[in-house]
């Protein structure tokens, strides 16, 4: 799952919770300058510049490709919010 938490959206938080409940991995994105909710402080996330969407898309695609090949590794620069034990 890829979740953008830049805007407070209860549906996205619910979906993120369901992802965790199902034991699935999630990549969390947030726009530069935005804050994560208090209960997600300390979580690893990919911060992006909304003014440069091509850069963010490229970086995310690169990290997802690495994760696809080696799903059990921590992708350099970002970790799954809910990594496997």
Are β-strands 27-31 and 2-4 bridged in parallel, bridged antiparallel, or unpaired?
parallel
Reported as a single tens digit per residue, the pLDDT across 47-71 is: 889 898 888 888 888 877 877 776 5
All structural domains of the chain with their residue ranges: 2-69
pLDDT grade for 82, boundaries at 50, 70 and 90 = very low
The rounded distance, in Å, linking the Cα atoms of 78 and 76 is 6
The rounded distance, in Å, linking the Cα atoms of 26 and 28 is 6
The answer to whether 32 and 9 have CB atoms below 8 angstroms apart is: no
Higher per-residue confidence, 71 vs 29: 29
Statement: residue 75 has pLDDT above 60:
no
CB within 8 Å of 54: residues ≥ 6 apart: none
- The structure's pTM equals 0.68
């Amino acid at each position: 799952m890829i979740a953008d938490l830049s805007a407070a959206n209860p549906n996205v938080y619910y979906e993120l919770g369901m992802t965790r409940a199902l034991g699935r991995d999630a990549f969390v994105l947030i726009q530069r300058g935005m804050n994560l909710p208090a209960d997600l402080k300390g979580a690893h996330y990919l911060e992006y510049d909304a003014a440069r969407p091509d850069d963010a898309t490229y970086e995310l695609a690169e990290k997802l490709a690495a994760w696809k090949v080696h799903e059990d590794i921590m992708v350099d620069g970002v970790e799954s919010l809910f990594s496997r034990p």
